[in-house]
Amino acid sequence: MRILLASNATYVPPRGGSTRSNLVWLRALAQAGHDCRVVSAAEEDAPAPVVERDGVQFHCVREPAERPASLRRQIESWNPDWVLISSEDLGHILLRQAFNTAPSRVVYIAHTPQFFPFGPESWHKDDAATRLLHSVAGVVVIGHSMADYVKRHLGLDSAVIHPNIYESPTASSAAAPSQGNAVTMINPCAVKGISIFTALADRFPSIPFRALRGWGTTAADAEMLARRPNVTIAEPVAGIGEELARARVLLMPSLWFEGFGLIVMEAMLQGIPVVSSDSGGLLEAKQGTGHVIPVRPIKSYRREYDGRHMPMAEVPPQDLDPWVDSLELLLRSDEAWHRESRAAKTVATAFVNSLDTRAFERMLSGLEPMKGPETAVRRRLDALTTEQRAQLVRKLREASKPACVSS
């Protein structure tokens, strides 16, 4: 199969759980002998506009307005079997372009509900884009919580396929509390609960806290962190295990609706206790382990944008006491730390061992292109070369000229 994925996120390097998930699937497809390409955003210092890594070809486009045209050119010239549109497409421009160019072959990968054109969590509701989603050949989600959300608010069933992004647990995981000494948070920003993280850092001034920058971390967030002497700001790393090795406890105080919370499972697999909110898919990610704390979720956003061009959240006040109690217990009691560490590692190992690395490939192989009155004609047009298209246009123009009528 020829698989083309499009997203407005960066893939060289990848940022966030959605891009890492998509890459796991594409690399597995490439290893199985399928041809895979990506049209994505580009970093300022991107090495080249076209990069090939692990058998996947990346077309990195810096300007957002140019990505739909790049997607169209790839569809017209390469004629992929499936066009995967990842939900990191806030204006839904890639979704529209995919339907304009290959309407019968679109598959929607539903990662981030805030980026969907539908549902109560959407930042940019769009009825026209939602109608397009009712014509996709398939919807993919990574967890049952998100499948329920899509079913409830879009009315469609989803294929639940969880990507195996997980590093093998280290031999020393859960062996001793001294494996790491920091209270760690990934991607500190308003929607991920930086207000809870900084408040806890203030309550535990003698404990080292680490904050790993992510896609949502603004300059203002970094300044807020830097004001606290016990907080270290860490830069993104190639493998998350490198950062988790420094952690004694992972905080996941997310205040928006989480699709799943991959970092929760990654930490638990390493035997690191996780204190998380109860937002969205985090309950599913925690797999019944302890230290899940109810929060007042974000319900509204201002009509202004932060330094990362994301809507600024109206963050409700939170009850800090349950967070303090959980952290106090895990930091002061080796017995409590070991008990939670063993439970976390046991359920995470069972979860990861149950994953099927060929599930995404089988799902695509089993799909049928959506049928419609234009489908057969559209697929034949998609298969034409540029020269053949030009020849067809000339013939149509000739056929449309009025015939000369002699008197």
Q: Where are the domains of the chain?
A: 2-164+357-366, 177-353
Which single residue is written with the structure tokens 């603004």? 218
Q: What is the CATH number of domain 2-164+357-366?
A: 3.40.50.2000
Q: Answer whether residue 125 shows pLDDT above 80.
A: yes
Q: Higher-confidence residue: 377 or 205?
A: 205
Q: 104, 26 in Cβ contact below 8 A? A: no
Alpha-carbon span 363 to 159, nearest angstrom? 8
What mean pLDDT comes out for the span 356-372? 90
What mean pLDDT comes out for the span 332-346? 96
Name which of 20-24, 166-170, 232-236 the model is least confident about: 166-170
Q: What 3 state SS string does 127-160 have?
A: HHHHHHHCCCCEEEECCHHHHHHHHHHHCCCCEE
Q: What share of the chain is helix, strand, coil (3-state, %, to 5)?
A: 40, 20, 40
* Mean pLDDT over the full length of the chain: 90
Instruction: Give the pairing type, strands 82-86 and 2-10.
Output: parallel
CATH class belonging to 177-353 = alpha beta
Q: Do domains 2-164+357-366 and 177-353 have the same CATH topology?
A: yes
Q: What are the tokens at 211?
A: 């904050």
Q: 101, 365 in Cβ contact below 8 A? A: no
Q: Between the CA of residue 179 and those of 171, 176, 247, 338, 340, what are the distances in Å?
A: 11, 6, 8, 12, 15
Structure confidence by residue, pLDDT tens digits, 282-331: 999 999 999 999 999 999 998 888 887 888 999 999 999 999 999 999 99
- Give this prediction's pTM: 0.85
Q: Answer whether residue 71 shows pLDDT above 90.
A: yes
Which single residue is written with the structure tokens 């920091």? 182
